[in-house]
Amino acid sequence: MKHLFLIATLVLAVAACNLSSKLKSNNNSNSSSSSESTTGGGEQVEQPNPTAAQTAALANGETVKWDQQGITWTLPPGWKKEEVRNESFSYSGNGAFLIVSVSVLPQMENLTDASIKAMYEGAKTNQKIGKYDEVRWLALDGQRGVQFRESKPEMADDIRRLQWQAYRKYAGQTQLVNLILSTNGAAFPKHEDELYAILYSTKLVH
């Protein structure tokens, strides 16, 4: 699974680099406006609003911090560390996983707004063809990003992911943060409350 994670991280970084070159010519027309802190792509940015069941999923949980990146989460009891490195972070518990990667993208410094909008539109297109069953703008700890959820997979053992992506400035760097919460398709309904609860618990150093 670690090999798949590394491959996915590399694909994301390459895609972002390719996107940056395509967007440079449109940079002036896609500059941010004062309203974009509360709206994205013409749609409202949602804030975390956990249900009672989602809140209960983290009862007696543990707060873990990714020191290298200044990000913290609250995890349910029993979750264990898999790997923590400078640009990757993973924990797991009872067949569910939290996997986070950070890609440093200096060439995206002036293009993040246009890029995140393109990311959102791409996710909406995938929703129309049935790949995703949820796509929305979601702000975690004040950081706007795109959140999407894969549809129920064809095979019960196939992985189903809840994902959030955002650009941020940290330690003088422009970063793409890619957060994935997953389990297999059959187990996803059982883990859904805790996966959303972990997502909503995200805290980022600004």
Tell me the two tokens of residue 145: 């990003």
For residue 118, what pLDDT band results from cuts at 50, 70 and 90? very high
Tally Cβ neighbours within 10 Å of residue 19: 17
pLDDT tops 90 at residue 2: no
| Nearest-angstrom CA–CA distance, 134 and 60 | 29
Segment 22-45 mean pLDDT: 46
Tell me the two tokens of residue 103: 């890609």
pLDDT tops 60 at residue 39: no
Q: Tell me: the pLDDT tens digits for 179-194?
A: 999 999 999 999 999 9
Determine, yes or no, domain membership for 36: no
Q: Tell me: the pLDDT tens digits for 60-79?
A: 999 999 999 999 999 999 99
| Nearest-angstrom CA–CA distance, 48 and 197 | 9
Domain of residue 164, residue span: 2-23+43-204
Segment 19-32 mean pLDDT: 37
Determine, yes or no, domain membership for 37: no
Q: Tell me: the pLDDT tens digits for 80-108?
A: 999 999 999 999 999 999 999 999 998 88
pLDDT tops 90 at residue 12: no
pLDDT tops 60 at residue 18: no
Q: What is the pLDDT of residue 42?
A: 64
Do the Cβ atoms of 51 and 193 come closer than 8 Å?
yes
Determine, yes or no, domain membership for 34: no
Q: What is the pLDDT of residue 107?
A: 82
Helix-, strand-, coil-residue percentages of the chain, each rounded to 5: 35, 40, 30
Determine, yes or no, domain membership for 104: yes
Determine, yes or no, domain membership for 193: yes
Determine, yes or no, domain membership for 31: no
Q: What is the pLDDT of residue 88?
A: 98
What's the CATH number where 188 sits?
A: 3.40.1000.10
Determine, yes or no, domain membership for 65: yes
pLDDT tops 90 at residue 196: yes
| Nearest-angstrom CA–CA distance, 107 and 165 | 18
| Nearest-angstrom CA–CA distance, 16 and 108 | 8
Q: What is the pLDDT of residue 5?
A: 42
Beta strands per DSSP E along 35-187: 39-40, 43-44, 62-66, 71-75, 80-84, 88-93, 96-104, 132-140, 143-150, 159-170, 173-184
Determine, yes or no, domain membership for 38: no
CA-wise closest residue to 199 among 96, 95, 110, 121: 96
Give residue for tokens 């993973």: 90
pLDDT tops 80 at residue 25: no
| Nearest-angstrom CA–CA distance, 94 and 57 | 13
Q: Which residue has the higher pLDDT, 20 or 163?
A: 163
Q: 98 has which bridge partners?
A: 91, 181
How many domains does the chain fold into? 1
Q: Which residue has the higher pLDDT, 67 or 36?
A: 67
